Structure formats: structure tokens, C-alpha cells
């Protein structure tokens, strides 16, 4: 179905994402376009595509981007945040996406730290945040966020998936048995994202970590396997003050997960 760009721009007028939304029938990656714009001096914007030919996820994984069936969008933002809060952008985006999905479809997505959206154990969406920092100047300043590109892919109207991922992926249509308009979800998503980023910049964001733990069944009390430091298994134990996942391993040692790769043990 044709994408109604006018509807989206009208709904976002007056928000942090107000202004032209860049829409494309097919691109390699919306995040690549957003990063190129940021490198040229742009500090805000939205790029959305009907199809991505080289969509990417965390850890260099590719993203299945069927034409017109999913929401493939990247947002360029530049909130005033210190380096220590960079990971919080991913957590805030997960909460925004969860809330938007519930508002539009009535479905309750789970969040697998730090950036996967799940339903009944299958992946329905992913988030990749790429940040660039401003270096500290002398001893009196700390590195701060220069800008961030937030890439979001959500499976909306896929009725099936390629055989190699069919057991791992799902869509809002499969779960709700009805179609979801891309425009409606995009508007709800960006409005929710604006609220979450405002909370981070206007307050100390102190309740973000608690809200994330409450929203994710993976954040506390979940037995997992972690694919880093040689691999280990244990039970999740919440988040540290930076937003990194804590796991008590099978030897009773509390470990900090730094790079994702958290899965259920096979």
C-alpha cells in the first residue's frame, strides 16, 4: 500500500520530529542515510523506507525487510546527554516501541535487553542506536552525545517469513490477525520516542531503568546464555546504573553483559 507521507508530517507537526519526513521506496539502509545527513551537519530528521536492501541490526546482523510489510525507520536526534547515558537511548527507544505497539495493535511486546522486541518468544522488531560523542575538552568537561541515529525495524504485515527465520520471527499481523498501518504506528512511535527522550534530558532519567526492568521479562529472573567472554549461563539480575544487564552466573558470580547476545539456553 502507498505510504501517506502527508498524514505522518501533519501528525508530527509541532513535535521534535516535525518537518519533512524523508520517504523512499527502496534504500540500502535508512540509518546510512541518517548518518550521512548527520555527518553533513543535520541534527534532526526522520528517514523511512518501504524496503531496505541492506538493513542492519546489532552485531552486524542483517534485517529481513520485506517491501511494504514492515516499518523501517531511522530517527536522527541530538539530546543533551553525557556519555554515561548513551545506552539509555536504546532502553528508552525499547519502551517507546513497546508503548506504540500496544497503543496501535493492543499487543504487549516483550523487550530482550537491550534492543529486541519479542512476542511469544519470537522476534517482531529490533533497534540499533549508533552514537557519536563530542570529546572532552580538558579536565573540566566530560564526553557528551553529539548525535544519535536510532534505527527501528518492526514486522507489521508479514504473513510469512523465509524458511531460515520462520521459527524465530513473527509480525503484528500474525499475532493480532489483522493489518496494521505503517503510518499509524510510525506516528505513535515517534510521539512516544519524543516523550522518552524528553524524560532523559529534562530529568535525571532515574526511573528509566526501573521501568525497563518492569517492561522486560528478560531483565530479572530469566535464565539465559550470554555469548561473550567465552559464553556462560546464569539468571538475569536487573540493570546496573549505566543500563547494562547483570547476570548471576552458575557459579554465583555477578557479571555485567556489555555487548548483548543474550538468549535462552538451548
In the chain the domains, ranked by start, together with CATH numbers, are: 5-214 (3.30.930.10), 219-263 (2.30.30.100)
Cell of 28: 540500502
Q: Which long-range contacts (CB under 8 A, 24 or more apart) does 218-226 make?
A: 218/110, 218/111, 218/112, 218/113, 218/262, 219/111, 219/113, 219/245, 223/264, 223/265, 224/262, 224/263, 224/264, 224/265, 225/262, 225/263, 225/264, 225/265, 225/266, 226/255, 226/257, 226/261, 226/262
Contact between 240 and 220 (Cβ < 8 Å): no
Q: In this predicted structure, what is the pLDDT of residue 169? A: 94
Q: How confident is the model at residue 137 (pLDDT cuts 50, 70, 90)?
A: low
Q: In this predicted structure, what is the pLDDT of residue 138? A: 63
pLDDT tens-digit readout, 4-15: 999 999 999 999
In degrees, to the nearest 5, what angle opens at C-alpha 84 toward C-alphas 78 and 89? 45
pLDDT tens-digit readout, 80-106: 888 888 899 999 999 999 999 999 999
Residue 30 pLDDT more than 70? yes
Please state the rounded mean pLDDT for residues 173-194. 97
Higher per-residue confidence, 142 vs 11: 11
Rounded distance, CA 111 to CA 117, Å?
5
In degrees, to the nearest 5, what angle opens at C-alpha 24 toward C-alphas 6 and 75? 80
Pairing of strands 45-49, 22-24: parallel
Residue 171 pLDDT more than 80? yes
Mean pLDDT of the chain: 91
Rounded distance, CA 115 to CA 92, Å?
10
pLDDT tens-digit readout, 33-69: 999 999 999 999 999 999 998 765 544 445 556 678 8
Choose the weakest-confidence range: 137-141, 168-172, 248-252: 137-141
Q: In this predicted structure, what is the pLDDT of residue 232? A: 96
Q: What is the pTM of this model?
A: 0.93
Q: How confident is the model at residue 174 (pLDDT cuts 50, 70, 90)?
A: very high
Amino acid at each position: 500500500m502507498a505510504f501517506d507521507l502527508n498524514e505522518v508530517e501533519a501528525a508530527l507537526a509541532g513535535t521534535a520530529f516535525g518537518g519533512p519526513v524523508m520517504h523512499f521506496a527502496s534504500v540500502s539502509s535508512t540509518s546510512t542515510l541518517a548518518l550521512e545527513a548527520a555527518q553533513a551537519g543535520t541534527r534532526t530528521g526522520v528517514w523511512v523506507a518501504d524496503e531496505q536492501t541492506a538493513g542492519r541490526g546489532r552485531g552486524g546482523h542483517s534485517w529481513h525487510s520485506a517491501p511494504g510489510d514492515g516499518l523501517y525507520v531511522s530517527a536522527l536526534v541530538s539530546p543533551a546527554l553525557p556519555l554515561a547515558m548513551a545506552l539509555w537511548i536504546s532502553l528508552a527507544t525499547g519502551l517507546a516501541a513497546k508503548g506504540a505497539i500496544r497503543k496501535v495493535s493492543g499487543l504487549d511486546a516483550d523487550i530482550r535487553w537491550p534492543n529486541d522486541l519479542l512476542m511469544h518468544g519470537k522476534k517482531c522488531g529490533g533497534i540499533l542506536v549508533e552514537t557519536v560523542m563530542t570529546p572532552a575538552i580538558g579536565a573540566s568537561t566530560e564526553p557528551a552525545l553529539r548525535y544519535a541515529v536510532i534505527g527501528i525495524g518492526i514486522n507489521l504485515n508479514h504473513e510469512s517469513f523465509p524458511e531460515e527465520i520462520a521459527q524465530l520471527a513473527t509480525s503484528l499481523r500474525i499475532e493480532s490477525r489483522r493489518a496494521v498501518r505503517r503510518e499509524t504506528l510510525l506516528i505513535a512511535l515517534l510521539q512516544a520516542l519524543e516523550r522518552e527522550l524528553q524524560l532523559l534530558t529534562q530529568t535525571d532519567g532515574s526511573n528509566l531503568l526501573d521501568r525497563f526492568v518492569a517492561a522486560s521479562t528478560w531483565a530479572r529472573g530469566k535464565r539465559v546464555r550470554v555469548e561473550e567472554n567465552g559464553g556462560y549461563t546464569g539468571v538475569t539480575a536487573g540493570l546496573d546504573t549505566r543500563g547494562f544487564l547483570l547476570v548471576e552466573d552458575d557459579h554465583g558470580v555477578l557479571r555485567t553483559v556489555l555487548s548483548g547476545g543474550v538468549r535462552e539456553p538451548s
